[in-house]
Structure 1
């Protein structure tokens, strides 16, 4: 695997709706510059047959985002930037297909891995992720499909947006990652403020924290974070039940 900067990990039907998707890993040959996540291999889950930004605008992103309430509205990922660039490179044949278990394990060996820099890990067969992180130093992963993807509990966190959703996910055996409004309380018994967040003073990064590794993590409580950045206002509209502008 020496010299690889990116690779296709999976090409096949989505586990969500059977449509063709592609999973691409980048950052294999160099350190990530993302200050919040730290040095992590990034993975991108996208429709294989549709430009990801076009997929957002047409609703075909359901193949990789499922029923996430934030797709096309309050999602923090700027799909027309990195995802689109990576997708276009894949369409040009820039990345080799690396799909057997041993090779996937080699790609993740000793690295921190981000399962779903864009897209929901539940769209991808679980054995792909299992092989990729088998010898990884750490990983992060989040799913809004937690009501139907309990097989992913050892690998990813349930993405929840309200205390009620957190309680429901807790009952089903998940660890959670909850986005909250500023001023909304934190359950001190079951939650802690994300240490890689602004509100925690950026005490660490995701690669070092290792709290978002599903039930495989040593942490038993679950992180929370205040909605931030360009999507904070949209998240507030969503939480208040107000209409959000769709993707342009």
Structure 2
């Protein structure tokens, strides 16, 4: 019987060698995330040793988030609601997720479910060799990394470089990445950027758009900062600090 979630891989983080786990969910129960779309498979990169909220609060999330400046222990503007990763982690600890197998891979290949690489956590913490069969079986994905400066460059064909400033965007583009830049609501787009299509029209979700797939032939993307008010405030403070 098909289960909703599966353990794909457990091993040492490529960031700091701490034990982490990759879990896929959404095979049975559709996600409630309106932006990504209900049929999009979600992926979770979690520390094996810490509940996500505890790890984020105390800075023990380096193994999955690296030096992302938006972490709760750093700038505190990460948009991810950690209640969902918490639930995923508790189900993992309780042994509720079986191992991902060739059977589930065949289901992905048959139905071509799109996959969100890194619903929580940076995809590059997990070896590309683990991800690639899943990406190829699905044929449709979105994904981002804050580790574009020091990760395996083979990721350029699958992930967007996640950035916060125009300067970072240009640097990433010069290194061969497409960029995904978070902007303040009234910020102007760069000449080579387009606004997230969901932000323009909320009837278009990620599973239909799929522009954020790392392909070099598509435009760079910008999106307006979103999330809880205090997180947005923290993001604005961070941008101000980078301009000083």
What is the TM-score of this pair, normalised by structure 2? 0.90
* Structure 2 CA distance for partners of 1:115 and 1:205, relative to 1, 3 Å: same
The match for 1:173 is 176
Deviation at 1:203, TM superposition (A): 4.5
Contact preservation (8 Å) 1:37, 1:207: yes
CA RMSD of aligned residues (A): 1.6
Structure 2 gap segments, 5+ residues each:
none
Partner of 2:88: 86
1:221 and 2:224 correspond: no
Where do residues 112-123 of structure 1 align in structure 2 (5 Å cutoff)? 112-123=114-125
SS of the aligned residue for 2:21 comes to strand
Q: Aligned partners of 1:227, 1:93: CA distance in 2, in Å?
A: 36
Q: 1:35-84: CA deviations, max 9, x gaps? A: 111021011111011111111122110000000000111111122x0000
* Corresponding residue SS for 1:23: strand
Number of residue pairs matched?
233
Structure 1's unaligned 5+ residue stretches are 243-248
Distance 1:103 1:50 in 2: 30
User: Where does residue 17 of structure 2 map in the other structure?
Assistant: 18
Alpha-carbon offset, residue 220 of structure 1: 2.0
Inter-partner Cα distance in structure 2 for 1:56 and 1:103: 34
SS at match of 2:129: helix
Question: What is the TM-score with the length of structure 1 in the denominator?
Answer: 0.89
Change (3 A) 1:107 1:127: farther
| 8 A Cα contact 1:105 1:134, kept in partner | no
Contact kept, 8 Å, 1:9 with 1:104, in 2: the verdict is: no
Match of 2:30 in 1: 31
Higher helix share: 2
Displacement, 1:26? 0.8
Task: After the TM superposition, list the runs of 4 or more consecutive aligned residues in structure 1 that deviate by more than 4 angstroms.
Answer: none
Contact 1:107 1:132 in 2 (8 A): no
